[in-house]
Amino acid sequence: MLDLDTLNPVTLIRLEGKPGRSISPSPAVADGRIAPVPYSDMNRECLTVVVPAYNEAQTLPLLHLRIVAALNTLPELDGRLLYVDDGSNDRTWDIIEALVVNDPRVGGIKLSRNFGKEIAITAGLDNTPFGAVLLLDADGQDPPELIPQFVARWRAGYDNVYGTRLERQGEGLVKRFLAASFYRMIGRLSPTPIPTDTGDFRLLSPRALQALRQIRERHRFMKGLFGWVGFRQIALPYRREPRLSGGSKFTFWRLWNFALEGITSFSTAPLRVTTYLGLITAVFAFGYGVWIVLKALILGDRVPGWPTMMTVILLLGGVQLIALGLIGEYLGRLYDESKRRPLYFIDTAAGIAECRPQQIIDGKIPQNTASIVDCEQQ
């Protein structure tokens, strides 16, 4: 058994109230479709806080205290926590195991390697029981103290309660500018409404969760998928705080790839822009050719051939390379999707996550997966 005091000086507290109730497993997936859960289960007051983490051993104990305190203000709610270790190489999983030992309503999942935050979120959504889900980053920038306000809006009938950042503390001016520009650009390019200044901090109702579980595409831009499933949505404005500890795991290159993933996943506008650019270039090239001919025939001027030829060749070559690059991005995504590889593999599961589906292969969950009820009766 792990000793929390050896991992962090902060004393971790248990969730107050009644021990966790027995719950049924996630609905089975068959032929890519998830069977609907019973109506009574869909409306049960159950909330699972899903926290994807990558090398967050220093922040998890502090964050856990805040989540517990927020859930304790909702004694009538069956609150649970599920931590997803996205292949960390520090002591993140040791911390999660210690939390599981000290609290019966905490579960942990350790992925077989680092699959990225979007896949880690998907693993958390796949391995939660019925009820609503609240997504929370492990860095502590999104305040868990707002959980009661999220729950209040969910109870008011909203399926997707998303946090909108009024302020981004602890982030540089350049990063804030680039983030704001990206969300406004993708909001204009994508036919799917994607709220600006909004991350993964949100609460999803049971039916919104069931809808998301049916989406098994490999290249996942979760902020777009949240909006794509629809249902009733409402914003919850808040001020984002600085990180509890350490620095951001997202480098400039990772942020660039993330932006490219979002644009190509939810818009074909780059392909259309390339088409329009090609048409405009062709029109200008034709007009320039007519002007050269008229100048030579009417005025008798000799047009220098080498500079003109090189300018035209380089211009057209650049446009063609841009077009090929965009086409290659979309074709590469189609190729990845055609291989139908599993989205992730789970190395270890603990606590309430031990009896969740361990992996989804070809859209199907293994039939020999045990349930929480089975585990508690053993």
| Cβ count within 10 A of residue 89 | 9
Closest CA to 213 of 25, 21, 23: 25
**Pick from 77-81, 179-183, 371-375: least confident:** 371-375
Q: What is residue 87's predicted lDDT score, i.e. its pLDDT?
A: 87
Question: Domain residue spans in the chain?
Answer: 4-267+341-377, 269-338
User: Would you give the distance in Å from CA 190 to the centre of its chain?
Assistant: 17
User: Would you give the distance in Å from CA 77 to the centre of its chain?
Assistant: 25
Is pTM beyond 0.75 here?
no
**pLDDT at residue 40 is higher than 70:** no
Q: Which long-range contacts (CB under 8 A, 24 or more apart) does 318-321 make?
A: 319/274, 319/277, 319/278, 319/281
- Yes or no: say if 177 and 251 are a contact pair by the CB < 8 Å rule: no
Q: What is residue 17's predicted lDDT score, i.e. its pLDDT?
A: 36
Query: By percentage, how much of the chain surpasses pLDDT 90?
Result: 13
Q: What is residue 108's predicted lDDT score, i.e. its pLDDT?
A: 92
User: What angle in degrees, to the nearest 10, is found between the helix axes of 252-266 and 173-189?
Assistant: 10
Q: pLDDT, tens digit, for every residue of 105-142?
A: 899 999 988 888 888 999 999 888 778 999 998 888 88
Q: pLDDT, tens digit, for every residue of 206-254?
A: 888 988 888 888 778 888 788 888 888 888 988 887 766 655 555 556 6
Q: What is residue 309's predicted lDDT score, i.e. its pLDDT?
A: 72
**Pick from 11-15, 115-119, 183-187, 258-262: least confident:** 11-15
User: What angle in degrees, to the nearest 10, is found between the helix axes of 60-72 and 92-102?
Assistant: 30
- Yes or no: say if 207 and 159 are a contact pair by the CB < 8 Å rule: yes
Q: Which two tokens stand for residue 278?
A: 């090609």
Q: Where are the alpha helices (DSSP H) in 38-146?
A: 39-42, 60-72, 92-102, 117-126
**pLDDT at residue 161 is higher than 90:** yes
The CATH number fitting domain 4-267+341-377, selected from 2.60.40.10, 3.90.550.10, 3.10.130.10, 3.40.50.11540? 3.90.550.10
Query: By percentage, how much of the chain surpasses pLDDT 70?
Result: 64
Q: What is residue 151's predicted lDDT score, i.e. its pLDDT?
A: 92
Q: Does residue 327 or residue 5 have the better pLDDT?
A: 327
Query: In a 3-state reduction of DSSP, which class is residue 109?
Result: strand
DSSP 156: T
Mean pLDDT across the chain: 72
Q: pLDDT, tens digit, for every residue of 273-294?
A: 777 777 777 777 777 777 777 7
Q: pLDDT, tens digit, for every residue of 57-96?
A: 888 888 999 999 999 988 888 889 999 999 888 899 999 9
Q: pLDDT, tens digit, for every residue of 303-348?
A: 566 666 766 777 777 777 777 777 777 777 777 777 787 888 988 8
Provide mean pLDDT across the span 252-281: 67
**pLDDT at residue 197 is higher than 50:** yes
